[in-house]
Chains A and B, each alone.
Chain A
Amino acid sequence: MTSLPIGEPTQYAVYTGRTTSWPMVAATSAGALLIVLMGKQPDSTWSDLVIVVPLILVAIGVLAEVLTGSSVRATAGPNGLTVHWGLIGWPRCTYRLDQIERAEVVDLPWWRVSYGLWWTPKRTNCTVRSGPTLRLSLRNQRTVTITVPEPAAAVAALNEASVF
């Protein structure tokens, strides 16, 4: 058991959730392979550089997608929101409670889904499906949108934690 410093809350409510999108990985792989096959010239062989180089690039792309975008693991509670991306849990990011201005559930339409990790100066998106999604508005004006199985439970855990 870890002893808590005086003044620390004794009750902890934490939400954990994992979302994995294997259909997304399968669709990405199939689409990438199709592009390579369509680009192959009829008179070229599989050992030609024109085929090998795109194949390697596609393989790297699919691997990166599987490792970072196929799965999102989130933990919300007194430590804020910690997100682990991909099968190996990397990259990861923690948004502390004092960085979070507001947590809410938004209904994400399919055309706004990022299908993996997507970073812009104003936004961080890591969404693998449409529907109810967790969105954080940070104090530095950035927004973070993340797919979690039960976004309302994640919001509740963050709100409860910020009361202390």
Chain B
Amino acid sequence: MRWTIDHASRDRLQDQIASCVRRGVASGELPVGEQLPPAAELGIALSVDRNTVLAAYRDLRDEGVLEFRRGRGARVAAAGPALSSVTEAAEKLIAVGTKLGLGTNDLIRLIKDLT
């Protein structure tokens, strides 16, 4: 499982961590029942506070993505929506953009402006 976060981003760190988990669940990289790394370990690896990781895990638990078990850490509780729908939408966006003469960088800038 690959975790990427940007400390300089406008997005909160806990949201970025939660996005990594959602992406992993949606892509099948994190199957149901998979145990996530302990918050302290992940916090050290990503250079964030343990409580930031715990906040991300708690958000995901509230969404039903994760479940906490006493003494066994956080586990994936349910499979998220498949990424295929996002891929299809992205392909449509690229097709329309290409028709209008927009390049990859233009599309990335457009998405960044909208988010």
Contacts and interface: CB of A to CB of B under 8 A. Distances in A.
Interface of A: 1-2, 4, 8, 10-18, 73, 75, 77-79, 82, 84, 89, 153, 157
B45 A79 contact: yes
A75 B41 contact: yes
Nearest to A149: B1
Given A1-B13, A1-B52, A73-B37, A13 B45 contact: no
B6 interface: yes
B35 interface: yes
A4 B42 CA distance: 16
Contacts of B42: 14, 16, 75
Interface in B15-42: 35, 37-38, 41-42
A109 B41 CA distance: 31
B2 A153 contact: yes
Interface of B is mostly: mixed
A39 to B, nearest CB: 37
Contact of A77 (B6, B7, B45, B48): B45
A9 to B, nearest CB: 8
Nearest to A160: B4
A163 to B, nearest CB: 14
A79 B44 contact: yes
Given A15-B2, A17-B1, A82 B7 contact: no
Contact of A13 (B2, B38, B52): B2
Interface of B: 1-8, 12-13, 35, 37-38, 41-49, 52
Contacts of B1: 15-17
A73 B42 CA distance: 12
Contacts of A10: 6-8
A14 B7 contact: no
A75 B41 CA distance: 8
A153 B1 CA distance: 8
Given A1-B48, A75-B37, A79-B44, A14 B3 contact: yes
Of B5, B43, B45, most buried by chain A (CB within 10 Å of CB) is B45
A66 to B, nearest CB: 16
A41 B44 CA distance: 55
